[in-house]
Amino acid sequence: MDDKLTYKEAGVDVHAGYETVRLIKDSVKKTYIKGVMSDIGGFGGMFAIDKNEYDEPVLVSGTDGVGTKLMIAFMTDKHDTIGEDAVAMCVNDVICQGAKPLFFLDYIATGKLEPAKAADIVNGIANGCVKSGCALIGGETAEMPGLYREGEYDVAGFCVGIVDKKKIINGSTIKEGDILIGIPSSGIHSNGYSLARKIFFNYKNYNVNDYVGELGCTIGEALITPTRLYPKLILDLISKFEIKGMSNITGGGFYENIPRMFPEGLTADIETKDINVLPIFKLMQKEGNVDIDEMYGTFNMGIGMVLAVDKDKADGIMEYMKSVGENPVKIGTVVKREGGLKICHN
């Protein structure tokens, strides 16, 4: 037999990769900020730190994916925001230490590379980077036939930020009586989707195209809403006020994430009465008959970031946030106690 087997016949089309790079080039370049030293296509992304900006620069890194929210992207055939989720999942963690996100790298894996779809994903990543003030300086698109089903892919990312050592926010100064301020989320963000999917598509048999009056949109549109990006707001706040600790409300909801910022021996009493619980959470709780503590232990419930601040400064910080268009809410008080968070549902 004289036929010669090619990589393309094995399922990998390198020309699709070249086309993807062509489609994303402009989106990537719009993320470039001061410090970027490399261009798309290099073997390694390079970034120079301005030694005049920091006395003792500390790098802070974070990596994450978007979990089974990807399945909503597959169901809705909407791929232009899922990359923004990947950025948010990383930069929102890095900012909790007071670090300014510098650069981001992405990883996309699929069974068959579709350049237009890959470009949508990367365009979302680039938009997330622009909104976060960081640069997209590298990535990998892996075509792996046989590992992913047709039309499916995975996306993950990696972010590096920087903070002066003396300005690291680690919760060490939090004390009894400090106030917790909640900053609104944009929706479910990128955690708890296994439960959300079970409620809507297994337990209640919704279709992603079903319009729901309570939501003001379809189920699919509500579920694919991108994760809010907090870096620019948080960097503004920490430049003006003392923020003692921060928690990004991701997997594990309130119960898992809020205690992560407290020194040993401290926890908090949470009051939910002033929280604007978003309609998507109310609908999930109703349709799935989910216990309220399970909801607060799984989802952000409308609060995506929590700040710990001195009680005497809380009102001033909240007034400033309102002046820039935010809707902060006092959600609790730091207390001395062993045994973890207590949430009062009024």
Instruction: Determine the pLDDT at residue 65.
Output: 96
User: CA-to-CA distance for 195 and 211, rounded, in angstroms?
Assistant: 20
The pLDDT confidence band at residue 297, using thresholds 50, 70 and 90, is very high
The pLDDT confidence band at residue 237, using thresholds 50, 70 and 90, is very high
pLDDT digits (tens, 9 = 90+) for 11-49: 777 778 778 878 888 888 999 999 999 887 778 889 999
Q: What percent of the chain has pLDDT over 70?
A: 99
The pLDDT confidence band at residue 5, using thresholds 50, 70 and 90, is confident
Whole-number average pLDDT of the chain: 94
| 100-118: average pLDDT | 95
Given a cut of 60, whether residue 73 has pLDDT beyond it is yes
Given a cut of 80, whether residue 10 has pLDDT beyond it is no
The pLDDT confidence band at residue 337, using thresholds 50, 70 and 90, is very high
Given a cut of 70, whether residue 1 has pLDDT beyond it is no
DSSP 325: T
Instruction: Determine the pLDDT at residue 2.
Output: 58
Q: What percent of the chain has pLDDT over 90?
A: 86
Amino acid at residue number 57: P
**Phi–psi pair at 179, nearest 5 degrees:** -105, 145
Residue-wise DSSP of 241-299 = S---EEEE--TTHHHHHGGGGSPTTEEEEEE-TT----HHHHHHHHHHT--HHHHHTTS
pLDDT digits (tens, 9 = 90+) for 168-222: 999 999 999 999 999 999 999 999 999 999 999 999 999 999 999 999 999 999 9
Instruction: Determine the pLDDT at residue 26.
Output: 85
pLDDT digits (tens, 9 = 90+) for 110-129: 999 999 999 999 999 999 99
Instruction: Determine the pLDDT at residue 6.
Output: 75
The pLDDT confidence band at residue 51, using thresholds 50, 70 and 90, is confident
| 262-275: average pLDDT | 96
Residue 160, SS3 per DSSP: strand
Instruction: Determine the pLDDT at residue 43.
Output: 84
Nearest to 235 by CA among 331, 334, 128, 91: 91
Alpha helices in 133-252 (DSSP H): 193-197, 219-224, 231-240
Given a cut of 80, whether residue 9 has pLDDT beyond it is no
Contact 147, 160 (CB under 8 A): no
| 1-6: average pLDDT | 66
